[in-house]
Structure formats: structure tokens, C-alpha cells
Amino acid sequence: MTHLFPTYNRLPIELSRGNGTIVSDTQGKTYLDFTSGIGVCNLGHVNNEVHQAVSAQLAQIWHTSNLFLNEKQERVAALLAKDNLTYTFFCNSGAEANEAAIKLARKHTGRNQVITFQQSFHGRTYGAMAATGQDKVKRGFGEMLPGFSYAPFNDFEALLALVTEDVACVMLEIIQGEGGVHPANEDFLKKVESLCHQNGTLLIIDEVQTGMGRTGFMYAYEAYGIKPDIITLAKGLGNGLPIGAVVGDEKLFSSFSNGTHGSTFGGNQVVLSASEVVVKQISDAAFLADVQKKATSFRQKLDTLLTYPVVKDVRGRGFLLGIELQTDAAEILEKARENGLLLLTAGEKVVRIMPPLTVSEDELDRAFFILQTILREG
């Protein structure tokens, strides 16, 4: 008998060891982990430097609350700052980061409306759930938070039709991850940016899945030359320790004034010691160039799979990739698992591929061979 609520459809294996891209289960079987714990362990499992930093912190102090100065928060926030994005608020998850971003946008603009996109995913709390453009996430949970509307993704005219003077923010993912690995078009993003600018509406980019080097850029928006007012981060920011963050434009400083928002655990000493290593390593230009190089050659190989009848589309960027199939993705995942490769789905027919960014060429080749063999058989 279980004492857990059955909120997850769990696989029949338990992972008990990890090192880089390799994980092993309690039966001793090893796997190439091309899930990274759903895009979390971007620097690989039990990353040595993260391990050392966390161990050192564990021997000093664990938790001090936000009633005291926190130099580590200052350092990580300084590392996260980029272009106009100057100030950070730390929390504990992606949903919390999006909640905070929506609060900040409403507070700053004094407006109420929030526009997001169909098939988006922003989290499971009431605000983040309201922002999510998928009915299946909301079903059965009663009245949603008012003020949210949803445009079809990549459809600028449809977005325009929803815009009023009361729109506080437009929130979007650069690649809709959970929604099926659907990238935004560059032209669309640029139009959304200028629309927001003209309308006094804040542009929030949810980088929870796409951020922290996942697409070969520190933040995915950087590839498009746009300037969001707020980005939200989580997943890869702690490499496996729970954290979220909101990073916002300079002009928003006074809108999150003393007493307006908070979190007991947000910016915790132990988690921040992991994040400091993570942000330093991932923001390094040579590291990102290596991710781009490996991802480009892996993508070229994946594109050859398009010749198999079962493969409908290959899309994504960097190491956030999707293979849309004619069949059920869960069956392919099961076969891959039997062959020692762990993958994700994104909806029913899309296989999602998210290896650690530290994955080796050899591991990429091995994973490709397994995928190729399975998909060739259909």
C-alpha cells in the first residue's frame, strides 16, 4: 500500500545513483539520462564542484531567513543580472517564480489583465495555473483567478485582438516545453516586444525550462535580440536543489518594496551555494559555445530520422529538442528505457530530449544509436 497521493504516473524503476549523464537504478541497471530530472541537472548528476560548494556550506550554516543580510544572494543576483535585467527575487520553484512575476507586473503597472498563450505551461499554483493555457491542468479546480486570457501561440494578430489598456503583462515561453516543444518565431517575438513597449505592458519570459544554458544561450530570449522586462528561472538554477528566481528590469525596483512579497526559504544558503557554481559555469562563453557545438551536431543527426515513416517532425533548440511521432511517444520511451536511455514526453506524441549540458560526444552518439534503432523499427 502507498501513503502517497497518486498525482504522478511513476515509472517502475527507482534511480539511486547518478554521475554526469549516467544514472543507475536500485537493481543496478545503468542508463543515459536524457531527461536531466526534467531539465534540472544541467551540469550533470552529482556535479563535483556543486557537490563541494554545497558540502562546504552544510558545514557552516544552512538557513538564516531573509531577516539578515545574505552576501551569497547578492553574488548570485549579480551573476544573473544581464542587460536591463538588474534585480532578483529568490523563491523555491518555477510556479512560485511565475506567481511573483505576475504580482510584480500587476503592482508595477497598476493593471489587471494577463495574456499568456494556448498550450503554455507556467506551473500548478493558482496564479501559475491560471496563466497556463491548457484546460487539462485546470480541470476540477473550480474558479480560476480572473484576468487571464490566452492567444494562439505565434499568432500576432490574435494577440493584438486581446490587448487593452488594462494589460499588465504578456507572459510566454521561448520554446513551449511541456506543451510539445514548440519554438516561438523570431518575427512574432519581436512584434510582441514592440507591442508591449507601445502599450506600457510588461513582457515576461518564462525561462524556467529554457533558461540556464538549455538552448545554448544563458537565457533563450538572447538568441532573438529582444529585451524582456522580467524573466523567471527555476529548474537548472540549482542543478537539483530547489530554487526559483524572478529577474527584473531596473525600473521595477520600487514595485517590490519592503513587505510586498517574500518567502521563508527563498535564497536559502545551501541552495544558493549550488546556484553560485551553476551560474558561474553556465554563463561562461566557452561553456555555452561547447553546448551549441554539441547540440548542433546532435540535431543534424536527429534530422536524419525524418526519413523514417514514424517521425513527423524534429524541432527545438540547443538541448531542448522534440521529436513528434505518428505514434504514442510513451511506447518509444519504454523501448528506449529497456535499451538504457531515459527520455521525456511532451504531450502524447512528442519525445522530448534534454540531456545534461555536460553530456559527452560519445554519450550523444550512444543515445542517437538507441533512438535510431527504435525509430527505424517504427
Ligand X SMILES: Cc1ncc(COP(=O)(O)O)c(C=O)c1O
Where is the binding site for pyridoxal 5'-phosphate, in residues?
94-95, 121, 206-209, 264
CB of 98 to ligand X, least distance (A): 6
Contact residues for 50 (Cβ-Cβ < 8 A; gap 6+): 43, 239, 240, 274, 277, 278
Contact residues for 281 (Cβ-Cβ < 8 A; gap 6+): 43, 49, 287
Residue 235 phi, psi dihedral angles, 5° rounding: 25, -95
Partners of residue 316 on adjacent β-strands? 321
Pattern 73-112, ligand X, x by CB under 6 A: --------------------xxx--x--------------
182 binds ligand X (CB under 6 A): no
177 binds ligand X (CB under 6 A): yes
| 351-378 burial: b if 16+ Cβ within 10 Å, else e | bbbbbbbbbeeebbebbbebbeebbeee
243 binds ligand X (CB under 6 A): no
Q: Maximum Cα–Cα distance for the chain, whole Å? A: 60
CB of 92 to ligand X, least distance (A): 8
Which residues participate in the annotated binding site?
94-95, 121, 124, 206-209, 263-264
CB of 338 to ligand X, least distance (A): 26
Residue 53 phi, psi dihedral angles, 5° rounding: -65, -45
180 binds ligand X (CB under 6 A): no
CB of 297 to ligand X, least distance (A): 26
The CA-atom distances, in angstroms, between 72 and each of 43, 51, 82, 208 are 20, 17, 18, 21
122 binds ligand X (CB under 6 A): yes
Q: Is 189 helix (H, G, I), strand (E, B) or coil?
A: helix
Alpha-carbon distance 196 to 227, whole Å? Answer: 11
CB of 232 to ligand X, least distance (A): 7
Alpha-carbon distance 171 to 102, whole Å? Answer: 9
121 binds ligand X (CB under 6 A): yes
Which residue in 355, 361, 275 sits closest to 321, CA to CA?
Answer: 355
Residue placing its CB nearer to ligand X in the complex, 127 or 375: 127
Residue placing its CB nearer to ligand X in the complex, 21 or 134: 134
In what order do the strands lie in the sheet containing 341-342? 15-19, 22-25, 30-33, 341-342
Residue placing its CB nearer to ligand X in the complex, 206 or 249: 206
Residue placing its CB nearer to ligand X in the complex, 176 or 368: 176
Task: Name residues contacting ligand X, limited to 272-331 (CB under 6 A).
Answer: none
179 binds ligand X (CB under 6 A): no
238 binds ligand X (CB under 6 A): no
Taking CB under 6 A as the binding criterion, the range among 205-213, 266-274, 302-310, 368-376 that sits at the site for ligand X is 205-213
The only residue of 54, 159, 208, 344 in contact with ligand X, by rule CB under 6 A:
208
Helices of type H across 92-237: 94-109, 126-131, 135-138, 156-162, 186-199
229 binds ligand X (CB under 6 A): no
220 binds ligand X (CB under 6 A): no
Which residues participate in the annotated binding site for N(2)-acetyl-L-ornithine?
124, 263
CB of 128 to ligand X, least distance (A): 6
Q: Is 226 helix (H, G, I), strand (E, B) or coil?
A: coil
Count interface residues toward ligand X (CB under 6 A): 14
Q: Round to the nearest angstrom and report the end-to-end CA distance of the chain.
A: 37
Contact residues for ligand X, defined by CB under 6 A: 93-95, 98, 121-123, 173, 177-178, 206, 208-209, 234
